[in-house]
Amino acid sequence: MSLTSNLPVSLNVQLGRLSLKNPILVASGTFGYAREMSAFVDYAQLGGIIPKTVTREPRAGNPPPRTVETTAGLLNSIGLDNDGIEVFITKHLEALSLLPTALIVNIAGKSTEDFVVMARRLDEFNPIQALELNISCPNVSGGVDYGTNPTMTAEVVAAVRQATSKPIIAKLTPNVTSVVEIARAAANAGADALSLVNTFQGFAVDWKTGEPRLGNGLGGLSGPAIKPLALRIVWQVAQAVDCPIIGVGGIQSLDDVLEFLVCGATAVQVGTANFYNPSLSSQLTSGLEKVLQDRGCSRVQELIKTVKVPKNQRKTC
């Protein structure tokens, strides 16, 4: 007997005040400004697009080499290379606004004022449906400061909350003792959702020359290697903080998406996989719909946060 249901399935998800037609997003910094991916991606199949990070002023980024492949991952030190917010508005925003999916703009700043000024400027544009605050980049001076201190996290989220009417997503770093503490601060300050997580700080060296393989020395590790770590953080935060979560880290298959959902994520972002399988993100939606039908689920919410807590759970050393 087939267990497959022919009933219609809803993939709609809600991240605070942000509504998405499905939970599949693409991560900032891995999708360019979308036009680069037009030959590979059906944008209508995506829940949303997050272009590369925008800063208040132009940034040249870090010296090359900027990327190094590692075992099951990618180490990068791009340094938020971009032309600044005004060029983003004049050169990229119109084309992004025409895409048949939600547009979420990722912004980063060196100060709370930077975030506030950009949030106010972008609040003028209706096609932008939400802002993602990059308070977690490990590759720029001061880039991760806000995301490692709960007081500073709360300060910048609260300030942006006052500066914009748009939903706010706080993108957090895993490079802290307790992500739960930072996540709670962001949620209490007014974040509509949390992106968990940005890259893990790493290092690569050429032992023959003694030279670091990245021009900036340290970099951020992403890709399949970090998925178990990202899943652990999503699971821990979902148990402790009442705020929608976007799972990020090493997603390269439908099984990966489903693992993040059952651990407590409401949506996911595909990142590093875009570099070697650029069609992946738009292929995941139909697969997710079929899984829900096969399980007799009518909504994706029926899968979210259904992981079983281990009996006699103990803290690890």
pLDDT tens column, 31-56: 999 999 999 999 999 999 999 999 99
**% of residues, the chain, pLDDT over 90:** 91
What are the two backbone dihedrals, phi and then psi, of residue 201, each rounded to the nearest 5 degrees?
-65, 135
- Across-strand partners of 103? 49, 128
Beta strands 193-196 and 245-248, pairing class: parallel
pLDDT of residue 4: 53
Determine if the peptide bond prior to 65 is cis (ω within 30°): yes
pLDDT band of residue 146 (cuts 50, 70, 90) is: confident
Q: Closest Cα to residue 32, out of 90, 87, 96, 85?
A: 96
pLDDT at 8: 87
> What is the model's pLDDT at position 144?
67
Q: How far apart are the first and last CA of the chain?
A: 47
139 annotated to a ligand binding site = no
Per the rule left: phi > 0, alpha: psi between -120 and 50, beta: everything else, 158 is alpha
Mean pLDDT, residues 201-211: 97
Q: Are 155 and 109 a contacting pair, CB within 8 Å?
A: no
Fold category of 13-303 in CATH: TIM Barrel (3.20.20)
Tokens 């693409």 belong to residue: 26
Instruction: List, by residue number, the catalytic residues.
Output: 137
Q: Is 249 annotated as a binding residue?
A: yes
Q: What is the pLDDT of residues 227-255, one digit of tens each?
A: 999 999 999 999 999 999 999 999 999 99
179 is in an annotated binding site: no
| Residue 316 labeled ligand binder | no
* Domain spans, the chain: 13-303
Task: Give the pLDDT of residue 158.
Answer: 98
Which pLDDT score, from 0 to 100, does residue 1 have? 35
